[in-house]
Amino acid sequence: MSPNKKNFYVDERGAQEQHSDLDVRVDVAPKGRAFYITTTLPYVNAPLHMGHALELVRADIIARYKKLQNYDVFFNTGTDEHGKKNHEQAIEKGLKSQEFVDQGFLVFTEQLKMFGISDDVHFVRTTDKHHILSASEFWKLVKDNGYIYKKSYQAKYCIGCESEKTISELDEKGECILHPSRNLELIDEENYFFKFSEFGDKLLKFYKKNQNFIIPDFRLNEMKNFIKNGLQDFSISRLKTKMPWGIEVPDDKDHVMYVWFDALTNYISTLGWPDNLENFEKYWVNGNPTQYCGKDNTRFQGVMWQAMLMAANLPNSHQVVVNGFITGEGGARMSKTTGNVVDPRDIVKEYSVDALRFFLAKEISNFEDSPFTIERFKESYNSGLANGLGNLASRILTLSEKYLEKCPEIPKNTIPQEFFDFLEKFEIKQATDYIWDKIGELDKFIQNNEPFKVVKTDQEKGKELISKIVIDLYQITRMLNPIMPETNIMLKKLIKENKKPEKPLFLRKD
């Protein structure tokens, strides 16, 4: 490592602990400095798909990376639980709406296990008592500041999408393109509106000051253009008689909040706002609040929510990071009819949680659309994991178990700055490629130096070579911490115990 690169002090706290790769970056993150990251909240009524996997795994990787740098991390996810669709499905199943979403929430937390999400993730539910209070307080603030008003409203509404449809979003029969069999609902009522139109200039000024506010920059440009075309006030309530399952509008029992003031406020209600201002101050005001989302959510997270925060006189988010979509081969939309859907459950069942995370980190573009097909997955799994990392680890540990009395002393060493630099920019693919470059280099070193032969003719020299490759393997393993946490722990344990794996770490699949 060149002398001008920063070194990281590694504090080993035992192989079983998640933080055993803790790198105290004293100059950058004094102990206790806060970082906040959140995913969007999926609807509670549908199983999680590969797009959710991508968003949750990516946010988890960044959360774990920040922990490696000694940040005190608040990682938020949860479920969006109100709305007509949940209400209707509850009725179909003969359940109360609350019972229905309670079940959905349990399923959600169960499903999260297949993504290997950090144990200390925080869950917010939009039916939580505190969230309801928080959303109401937020509404009142914005109303008191003069940004909420009532007017009559006509629209066509698709319950399948839980959103209103403009003519351009309907097919030639006047039906929703995504839900042609569902009847559109005609809305003709008085609604509350948010004065979104007043925030165009403020938002543009804000983006100018915060050039990296939306990552990648082409998404930021899209939003700038969207704003330049003129912002329309949007509807934020529904008549309770038509949508009974929602948060009541403060001081108006006839209305419930529609989506935005209910769902988007979760990002601060999860911190206990407005009661727990200490927590809010720590993580939202000073914790660089970072929001991961898919590209269909850019407008909600990066524009609408930011205008709402401005209207409430609260600090804006720090960054919004936008993923592309996961597609089938050739960029085709994943759909049951095409039969090109890859279910994360199947991947985890057949391979492993870490194999899924590996693919999402290494083979899916950081910000563009990317295909996830079984063929691609298998190829990458076999070359990167079975023949790559797995084979390398097994060769090295077989040698060390045979020729070394114990694990060589692991230096209090470093994770290279380059690796962290990629993660700092949310370039998870490059960070993962960096690890696999190191794996390739170590492979080549073994080929060129043949420690397995040397040790038979010159034992001392051979042992030295084997010690070196064990230490190198350990360094590589440290970098797996945010990306493949299970493998990180398992491999470090094997190296420390100087044991070869009893079975292949990643079984080759044909």
Residues within the interface to Zn ion (CB under 5 A):
158, 160-161, 176, 178-179
Between CA 54 and CA 364 the distance in angstroms is: 9
Q: How far is the CB of 157 from Zn ion (least distance, A)?
A: 9
How large is the angle between the packed helices 428-449 and 391-403, nearest 10 degrees?
A: 40
Q: How far is the CB of 45 from Zn ion (least distance, A)?
A: 15
- Fill in the DSSP letter of residue 417: H
Alpha helices in 277-426 (DSSP H): 277-280, 298-299, 305-311, 344-350, 353-362, 374-380, 391-403, 417-424
Between CA 135 and CA 17 the distance in angstroms is: 37
Write out 26-38 in H/E/C secondary structure. CCCCCCCCEEEEE
Of 161 and 404, which has the nearer Cβ to Zn ion?
A: 161
Of 1 and 178, which has the nearer Cβ to Zn ion?
A: 178
Q: How far is the CB of 182 from Zn ion (least distance, A)?
A: 6
Q: How far is the CB of 89 from Zn ion (least distance, A)?
A: 15
Report how far apart, in Å, the C-alpha atoms of 320 and of each of 28, 35, 38, 432 are. Answer: 22, 14, 10, 22
Of 183 and 383, which has the nearer Cβ to Zn ion?
A: 183
Of 160 and 504, which has the nearer Cβ to Zn ion?
A: 160
Of 82 and 362, which has the nearer Cβ to Zn ion?
A: 82
Q: How far is the CB of 14 from Zn ion (least distance, A)?
A: 52
Of 175 and 401, which has the nearer Cβ to Zn ion?
A: 175
Of 160 and 331, which has the nearer Cβ to Zn ion?
A: 160
- Fill in the DSSP letter of residue 408: P
Token pair listed for 75: 């990682």
Between CA 385 and CA 394 the distance in angstroms is: 11
Token pair listed for 151: 């007017």
CA-wise closest residue to 23 among 287, 414, 410: 414
Scored b (16 or more CB within 10 A) or e, 197-222 reads eebbeebeeebeeeeebbbbeebbeb
Token pair listed for 144: 């008191």
Q: How far is the CB of 179 from Zn ion (least distance, A)?
A: 4
What is the number of helices (H) and of strands (E) in the chain? Answer: 20, 17
Q: How far is the CB of 100 from Zn ion (least distance, A)?
A: 21
Q: How far is the CB of 177 from Zn ion (least distance, A)?
A: 7
CA-wise closest residue to 115 among 64, 71, 43, 68: 64
Q: How far is the CB of 178 from Zn ion (least distance, A)?
A: 4
Of 95 and 170, which has the nearer Cβ to Zn ion?
A: 170
Q: How far is the CB of 153 from Zn ion (least distance, A)?
A: 19
Of 14 and 160, which has the nearer Cβ to Zn ion?
A: 160
Of 160 and 244, which has the nearer Cβ to Zn ion?
A: 160
Burial of 315 (0-12, 13-18, 19+ CB in 10 A): middle
